Amino acid sequence: MIAKAFENQEYLREFDQNNYFGDEPGANLTDGGAEFTLWAPLALKAWVKIYDREDSPQEKLCAEMEKCGFGAWKSYVGGCVSGQYYTYVIDNGENGGTNETIDLYAKACGANGKRGMLLDLRKTDPEGFESCGYVNCESIADAVLYEAHVRDFSIDPSSGVSEKDRGKFSGFAAPKTSNSKGLGTCLSHLRELGVTHVHLLPVFDFASVDELNPTEYNWGYDPLNYNIPEGSYSSDPHDGAARIKELKSLIAALHANSIGVVMDVVYNHTYFGLESAFNKTVPMYYYRSLGGKLTNGSGCGNELASERKMCRNYIVDSVLYWAKEYKIDGFRFDLMGCLDIETMSEISSRLKEINPSAIIYGEGWTGGKSALSDEKAARKSSSGKLCDIAFFNDVLRDGIKGSTFKSSVKGYAGGNIQLAPVIADGLRGRADFSKNPSQLINYCEAHDNYTLWDKIALSCPEMSRHDRRKAARLSAAIVMLSQGVPFIQAGQEFLRSKPLSGGGFDFNSYKSPDSVNSIKWDEKSENEDIFNYYKGLIEFRRAHRLLRLRTQEECDECVYVSETKDGEIFAHLHGFDEEIIIILNPTVKIQEFKLPDGEWHLCVSDIQAGTKPLATLCDRSFAPPISAIAMVKAKE
């Protein structure tokens, strides 16, 4: 059985050595036809089929492919033109039989990704896209990340986006939209808020939504075709060029506003396992197995074997393709702990060659028991071997709002002063798994689990709405004032909630309807003060290099943090020709603090934030209940 053969490391090493194909397979149009290259080293025979339409019941022609070394097959087919479709038919004999499948390396497809599409990609570039550069980011510590789902962002009528564009790539980038009260939504909102990068939940072609009837909902962590955009976000899923051009237009619109784009990628598993195009092409090679059965490190039924040479080659090529063809500025790796260190290191080094400002981060854990050994896995514990890659700081997350998986457990912002040491470490830029603050993605809300506002409601039922709003502001301040990289989820800045129709809140809304997941933009008007607070915090952070330290040495030299017995935290930052005081008070009492000598401009209070001084203080400061305050020393 071939699966068990690949589990034999000696056999696998020999297989990889004899079958490593360094060139990128796929289809390429020429003046008179198309060249097809397929990597299928177990195949006995292979053919390429050409179709006039995505749904043609019969192929236009079928051409036999020729084996040409290192496991590759090639064929030149004359008469092929842009807009035609193709598949491979691969006879893997007793290892998997004969199957027809889409090309793993296809760059375009028709509806629901069943057949690859021949396409001149240059004709999918919006005007000026070829010269569109990346957004400069000197250090990842300078970034402010904003996570958004394409459909969520504009599907609600309150977005002000035209009905035909709602939930689409075009709706996300629609200019000058507003809610019912005239406040900016979508792209206008992002400009106003001041974030540096938008983190898009998966926009590659995923399997869990029917592109021809996109009434279902899914976050998109269900990979089907890695190198093709998702068709349900396009104006016409049948038109393979539309989804490409419209995603590029979204990216161009964000870049035109100096906002970078981070792509959420899911190379840890595929939606289909044994029925996937990977397995139909090279049976059992692309997946880890044990005893002949697929292992489940992803928690989704399978896990890609990134440590195998051609699987690694595929993942690296895919990432580089998105970076070069779509001008993607950074990548977020889902369940990065399922990927091996060598693969992630190669991705990092190759990306930096293309774009020195590229940012890379991911989840330093798995979704189940992985067959990849801990010492080879890109987990939080391996951060010392992945110094240019950042990890989600789940320690600070749970410190701020309380245990993610125990809804009743309070966090520091809810008054749990036992968690003060965790918050203090956040201000210092430390975590038990990181080597420097640039490896810390600091957050208290993401698409997973309860929103911050819902978690506060569940863990602090005794709090008044007024105090819960104060706790939400304190949470935001901790994220923005901590050393590392701040990350927020779309709508967090105006108290996004995911209520269920029968009561309670949605903990895992990955396939819940729009009524739960959509951004209700009129809530921005209801919570405009919270929005302005986030906006001011971002402005304050971006104005001070002292809040964006890049190394542990800088943190050790520039940051002094102390805690009181009552759980308050006092931080004194000095360096880069400035001084900043940060005080956190999670208690329900006003707290008094002695200040160092000099005049101090109060820029962040319990209700306002920004770069303009709200007051000038000397000698002493008072921290209101459930608050964060920040002061900058006046220049002499």
Q: What percent of the chain stands above pLDDT 90?
A: 97
- Report whether pLDDT(21) > 80: yes
| DSSP 8-state secondary structure symbol assigned to residue 398 | H
Instruction: Summarize the confidence of residues 97-121 as an average pLDDT.
Output: 97
- Report whether pLDDT(1) > 80: no
Rg, the chain, Cα only: 26
Determine the Cα–Cα distance for residues 96 and 12; give it in Å rounded to an integer. Answer: 18
Q: What percent of the chain stands above pLDDT 70?
A: 100
| DSSP 8-state secondary structure symbol assigned to residue 499 | B
Which of 21, 37, 33, 25 is CA-nearest to residue 73?
A: 37
Q: SS3 letters for 579-600?
A: EEEEEEECCCCCEEEEEEEEEE
| DSSP 8-state secondary structure symbol assigned to residue 492 | G
Measured at the alpha carbon of residue 308, what is the angle toward residues 282 and 121, in degrees to the nearest 5? 65
Query: Sign of dihedral through CA atoms 320, 326, 327, 328?
Result: negative
Which of 67, 73, 86 is CA-nearest to residue 29?
A: 86
> End-to-end alpha-carbon separation of the chain, Å?
77
Contact 476, 630 (CB under 8 A): no
Pairing mode of beta strands 197-200, 260-265: parallel
Q: SS3 letters for 405-420?
A: CCCCCCCHHHCCHHHH
Helix (H, G, I), strand (E, B) or coil at 59: coil
Determine the Cα–Cα distance for residues 408 and 118; give it in Å rounded to an integer. Answer: 54
What is the tens place of the pLDDT at every residue in 212-233? Answer: 988 899 999 999 999 999 999 9
Determine the Cα–Cα distance for residues 308 and 305; give it in Å rounded to an integer. Answer: 6
Determine the Cα–Cα distance for residues 92 and 281; give it in Å rounded to an integer. Answer: 8
What is the tens place of the pLDDT at every residue in 277-312? Answer: 999 999 999 999 999 999 999 999 999 999 999 999
Contact 196, 130 (CB under 8 A): no
- The helix-helix angle for 240-256 and 186-193 (nearest 10°) equals 30
Instruction: Summarize the confidence of residues 360-387 as an average pLDDT.
Output: 96
- Report whether pLDDT(95) > 90: yes
Query: Sign of dihedral through CA atoms 59, 203, 218, 344?
Result: positive
Which residue segments constitute the domains of the chain, with CATH numbers given? Answer: 2-108 (2.60.40.10), 130-547 (3.20.20.80), 555-633 (2.60.40.1180)
Determine the Cα–Cα distance for residues 600 and 631; give it in Å rounded to an integer. Answer: 6
Contact 346, 312 (CB under 8 A): yes
- Report whether pLDDT(360) > 80: yes
DSSP 135-156: PP-S-GGG--EEEE-HHHHH-S
What is the tens place of the pLDDT at every residue in 27-71? Answer: 999 999 999 999 999 999 999 999 999 999 999 999 999 999 999
Q: SS3 letters for 507-519?
A: CCCCCCCHHHHCC
pLDDT confidence of residue 589: 95
Contact 517, 448 (CB under 8 A): no
The label of the residue with tokens 């097959």 reads 73
For the sheet containing 33-39, what is the strand order?
26-29, 33-39, 72-78, 66-69
Which of 543, 545, 550 is CA-nearest to residue 440?
A: 550
- The helix-helix angle for 465-481 and 528-543 (nearest 10°) equals 20
Q: Around Cβ 23, how many Cβ atoms within 10 Å?
A: 11
pLDDT confidence of residue 452: 98
Determine the Cα–Cα distance for residues 77 and 47; give it in Å rounded to an integer. Answer: 11
CA 581 to chain centre: 32
Question: And the tokens for 609?
Answer: 């934030």
Q: Could you give phi then psi for residue 147, rounded to 5 degrees?
A: -90, 130
| Residues catalogued as catalytic | 334, 363
What is the tens place of the pLDDT at every residue in 602-621? Answer: 999 999 999 999 999 999 99
Contact 39, 25 (CB under 8 A): yes
Contact 190, 183 (CB under 8 A): no
Q: How confident is the model at residue 636 (pLDDT cuts 50, 70, 90)?
A: confident
pLDDT confidence of residue 42: 98
Q: How confident is the model at residue 130 (pLDDT cuts 50, 70, 90)?
A: confident
What is the tens place of the pLDDT at every residue in 464-503? Answer: 999 999 999 999 999 999 999 999 999 999 999 999 999 9
Determine the Cα–Cα distance for residues 17 and 27; give it in Å rounded to an integer. Answer: 24
Which of 590, 581, 588 is CA-nearest to residue 630?
A: 581
Indicate yes or no: pTM above 0.85: yes
- Report whether pLDDT(131) > 90: no
Q: What is the mean pLDDT of the chain?
A: 97
Which of 454, 541, 447, 462 is CA-nearest to residue 495?
A: 454
pLDDT confidence of residue 355: 97
Helix (H, G, I), strand (E, B) or coil at 311: helix
Beta strands in 267-324 (DSSP E): 289-290, 293-294
pLDDT confidence of residue 344: 98
pLDDT confidence of residue 167: 98
Residues in CB range of 378: below 8 A, 6 or more apart: 333, 336, 337, 339, 340, 341, 343, 344, 362, 364, 386, 389
- Report whether pLDDT(596) > 80: yes
